[in-house]
Amino acid sequence: MAPMAAHFSRPLNPIGLPLQMRELPQQGDWDYIPNMPQSKSQRPLSAATLQLLRPLVKILLRNNVPHQTLAEWAKQAYIDVANSDFGIAGKKQTVSRVAILTGLTRKEVQRLLNRPDNAQHADGEEYHRASRVITGWVRDPDFGDGKGHPHPLRMEAKGASFAELVKRYSGDMPARAMLDELLRAGAVKQLKDGRICLLARGYVPQKGSSEKLNILGSDTADLIATIDHNLYEKPAKPRIQRKVMYDNVPVEAAREFQILAAAQSQELLEALDRWLSHRDRDVNPASKGTGRVRVGLGLYHFEERLDKES
């Protein structure tokens, strides 16, 4: 085991966070911020950033995203984070301060601050709606046996139906649209008698779909925010960040591990889902307490071929 700890502060977005303030006053005469030589303390960060960027760049190249576009997104993220997270207490954030923090000119900062917000898309909401529908189908005794075995459902029926399931767990999304999406993702199938049968206990969008790319942003952002919390914010109260790994495992054992890890991880996630759902006010309005927190646990499997065989 390689124990590490972590916590997630606010989620980051690779395209940029929604800004708390869009119009910043101009101050000072900074129009050029020189590049500073890399210090010894920055070298580990440089190596870590390059390691982090490689899999991201691989995805970007697969989607025909050139370097210039990534550079523009990086500028936007720098400005958004500097503006929202690096202000001085009691003082209004300024264009000049954001320029100093980011190394960009005031003109560039103002240009990007004036750009309309584009970080929030409906894709993320659709992903969560589909996930909630599947989770409710598995967990809710009105739509299964109460022990994690969902019943096949008719689209419309008195009592338990697919339409009622969607209404209960997805709000105002049309049942037909939800069925089409779950069919497209391979999460359900429609039997000859018209009933709808659940095939997957979790929602995974199609390869390359916009929903999957949304997961790239949200899940990776949560992990990095967790690491950021553990490194800089509250190291005395770390959030869980654990990993188990061995690097000389036979291919056959790796396949077995994938099956084992998937099964045991699913059991853990379903147990945690039951616990959290009873305390989430959207699911259980009677849940008591103060404030509002987004909380969860993410699991992922990784595998890398180290020999030269294909």
pLDDT of residue 25: 47
Look at 292 and 181; give whichever has higher pLDDT. 292
The percent of residues above 70 in pLDDT, for the chain, comes to 80
pLDDT of 65 higher than 70: yes
Distance CA 189, CA 183 (A): 6
Q: Residues with Cβ < 8 Å from 159, sequence gap 6 or more?
A: 142
Per-residue pLDDT, averaged over 153-161, amounts to: 91
pLDDT of 161 higher than 90: yes
Under the banding of pLDDT at 50, 70 and 90, the label for residue 189 is very high
What's the chain's average pLDDT? 82
Provide the pairing of β-strand 2-5 with 240-243: antiparallel
pLDDT of 190 higher than 70: yes
Look at 3 and 284; give whichever has higher pLDDT. 284
* Residue 169 structure tokens: 């767990």
Please name the residue that has the structure tokens 């030589």: 37
pLDDT tens per residue across span 16-43? 333 343 445 444 443 444 455 566 778 8
Please say whether the dihedral angle defined by the alpha carbons of residues 96, 102, 103 and 106, taken in this order, is positive or negative: negative
Q: Where are the domains of the chain?
A: 17-118, 122-198
Residue 5 backbone phi and psi in degrees, to 5: -125, 160
Under the banding of pLDDT at 50, 70 and 90, the label for residue 131 is confident
- For the chain, the residue count is 310
pLDDT tens per residue across span 169-182? 887 789 999 999 89
How is the chain split among helix, strand and coil, in percent rounded to 5?
A: 50, 5, 45
Please name the residue that has the structure tokens 């916009």: 210
Distance CA 153, CA 267 (A): 24
CATH of domain 122-198: 1.10.10
Per-residue pLDDT, averaged over 149-172, amounts to: 90
Distance CA 22, CA 117 (A): 10
Pick from 255-259, 276-280, 285-289, 304-308: least confident: 304-308
pLDDT of residue 181: 86
Q: At what angle do helices 106-113 and 67-85 cross, to 10 degrees?
A: 90
* Adjacent-strand bridge partners of 189: 197
pLDDT of residue 119: 45
**pTM for the whole structure:** 0.61
The percent of residues above 90 in pLDDT, for the chain, comes to 51
pLDDT of 6 higher than 50: no
Neighbour-count burial of 11, counting CB atoms closer than 10 A to its CB (0-12 exposed, 13-18 middle, 19+ buried) = middle
Residue 271 backbone phi and psi in degrees, to 5: -65, -45
Q: How many CA atoms lie within 13 A of 108 on its CB side?
A: 23
pLDDT of residue 103: 93
Under the banding of pLDDT at 50, 70 and 90, the label for residue 148 is confident
* Residue 156 structure tokens: 């419309």
